[in-house]
Structure 1
């Protein structure tokens, strides 16, 4: 069928191992995570990079859980000059309440518009698409805390400390967090010490704080140990454990 052509388009998501980087080079700003605010009305900037040596037109498409609350501020298409970085923004207008707690994410897909091809024969267009993720962390109803326990390897007879990172992820303020750290020698699970963490008071939604406690390993044998943090927060309990080594 002389004079006719067939064009194949491939959408490529970061598959650089299959093609040289100078064949396609489209970049986008890092992802964004915010804490939920009722009736939030805000715009957020992000940038797109064209590393090619030719002009490149790109389109924007918003998909995901929050898509109906978002729109591009400057239209759904821009043109980038060779090696240009161009910044644009999207507008977010959230409702009074989002029902599902946790992280809700939406993608802004940035996709190349294929160049028009001329003449007959078989033509291949590689269409590059990259994605910018916008996420909202929705608090859990009531009192909810994320905890992260840290312990470190130490030398024999050395002092150390244990730390618990806390983040309030609920809608209600945490009045007080208390707790102890109990150290066990392994593999016997023999308790070799109990110490009390510092306290945290009035931890509000999305706020972070740390609890610390010192521990002296004098007299303990070299080997494997674990620390168990036993925490209480407003009539709730949580246990965490972390392994570490002496010597």
Structure 2
């Protein structure tokens, strides 16, 4: 009986190890195809030839080349299969007309063919995409307004990209207004000269926003665009930063404990450059005691967040304390005040926790049942041997 149990454990462990090794082998397999994405504007009757490369870490792997998507009927491949990777080309012969405007997708796929040894869920498939844009009838534009966050007293690049997605050539005349959201006040206005953009083409309107004298905070940029008598608009928000690190919050409750308790200060930078050596000086006091400490410094990335830490000995602390946090950085400082409460934790014995008690009872019961099963089979086996010996003697 004991040998059977040992063999059972061995077989389970061996099966688990084998599955881990098998899974690791699958995870290490790699299949790639490039280029992964190509985009084109639709042109009636146009022929597009694309060259692809497939890579695989299995030199003898058979790879099937497939085509999918709503324009798959217009695609031909110069090869149907590869072994261990290689090159192939796809030729797209567009029709004279596609009725539905917008994006149309073609997938160019490389799919592993499973071998006889690996026929259940072990193959890898990967697809490249070809996107064809069919223009909308008449006038249609796709604008994009790009403005990064910046700092006061600098020049922030402003870029308006306009793509002509319609069938008509257009004259584009944009205006961009900048509004300080805290006061709902317009602080700057850009006006651009008209620019012609042909169907399927795009162009850019660019200027620099001089933030000298700007207040730090959140801003709204609104682009009003006239395109050959039609109007549309697009908005985006951005931040004009100041050299200021905000104390977002700090720990307000700690347990009274024999071990050190962690006091945390969460900070956030409102500056678009790295700030090095940010640290906090903290005073914790009440009518009977006072404690002062200085945290280790940390660096904050542009617009980044951070946590300053200190470990407090709370054994002699109780009730509520006033907290004053002073943050120091780059010759500047920020302050925040609040309270800290020390929580008394009632000590309980192990058996006060009903879940531990129930869990212990269940574990003991399981062990007893398992022992009874082993004893039962052992006695049954012994009785069988005794009966066999009696039969021989008789």
CA distance in 2, matches of 1:47, 1:219: 54
Contact (CA 8 Å) 1:164, 1:211: kept in 2 or not?
A: yes
2:46 alignment partner in structure 1: 40
- Return the alpha-carbon distance in structure 2 between the equivalents of residues 26 and 215 of structure 1: 46
| Structure 1 residue 23 displacement after superposition | 4.7
Matched, 1:65 2:61: no
Q: Call closer, same or farther: CA 1:129–1:153 in 2, change over 3 Å.
A: closer
Q: Could you tell me how far apart the structure 2 residues matched to 1:158 and 1:182 are? A: 18
Question: Quick check: 1:225–1:243 contact (8 Å CA) kept in 2?
Answer: yes
Q: Which whole-Å CA distance do the structure 2 matches of 1:23 and 1:210 have between them? A: 44
Name which of structure 1's ranges 64-73 and 237-246 shifts more when overlaid on structure 2: 237-246
CA distance in 2, matches of 1:159, 1:27: 42
Runs in 1 of length 4+ with deviation above 6 angstroms?
A: none
- Please name the residue that 2:223 is paired with: 229
Larger Rg: 2
- The answer to whether the 8 A contact 2:182-2:217 is kept is no
1:169 maps to which of 165, 182, 205: 165
| Structure 2: tracts of 5 or more residues without a match | 1-22, 243-394
With over 3 angstroms needed to count, the CA separation of the structure-2 counterparts of 1:200 and 1:41, relative to structure 1, is same
Q: Do 1:59 and 1:111's aligned partners in 2 also have CA atoms closer than 8 Å?
A: yes
Could you state the TM-score of these two structures normalised by the residue count of structure 2? 0.51
Go from structure 1 to structure 2 and tell me whether the alpha carbon gap of 1:129 and 1:190 turns closer, same or farther (over 3 Å shift).
same
Compute the displacement of 1:19 (Å): 4.3
What residue in structure 2 maps to residue 13 of structure 1? none
| Distance change >3 Å, CA 43–CA 226, structure 1 → 2 | same
Q: Note if contact 2:26-2:122 (Cα within 8 Å) is conserved in structure 1.
A: no
Instruction: Provide Cα deviations, 1:65-99, integer angstroms capped at 9, x if missing partner.
Output: 0111112122x22222xxxx411012211110111
* 8 Å Cα contact 1:198/1:213 also seen in 2: no
Deviation of the 1:210 alpha carbon: 0.9
In 2, Cα distance between equivalents of 1:125 and 1:228: 52
Counterpart of 1:218 (choices 212, 225, 230) is 212
Cα 1:109/1:155, change in 2 over 3 Å: closer
CA distance in 1, matches of 2:119, 2:225: 64
Partner residue of 2:181 out of 183, 186, 196:
186
1:214, CA displacement in angstroms? Answer: 4.1
Per-residue CA distance 1:125-168 (angstroms, 9 max, x = gap): 61111112222111111121111112233332334442201111
1:141 pairs with 2:137: yes
- Give, in whole Å, the separation in 1 of the partners of 2:83 and 2:156: 56
Q: Counterparts of 1:128 and 1:60 in 2: how far apart (Å)?
A: 12
Taking the aligned partners of 1:184 and 1:103, their CA distance within structure 2 comes to 35
| Richer in helix (by share) | 2
How many positions carry a matched residue from both structures? 218
User: Contact 1:168 / 1:207 at 8 angstroms: preserved in 2?
Assistant: yes
Residue in structure 1 matched with residue 91 of structure 2 by the alignment: 91
What secondary structure does 2:123 align onto? strand
Greater relative CO, 1 or 2 (CA 8 Å, sep 6+) = 1
* TM-score of the superposed pair, with normalisation by structure 1: 0.79
Structure 1, unmatched stretches of 5+, are 1-17
Write the mapping of 1:17-166 to structure 2, written as runs, cut at 5 A. 19-20=24-25, 23-29=28-34, 30-52=36-58, 54-74=59-79, 76-80=80-84, 85-117=85-117, 124=120, 126-166=122-162
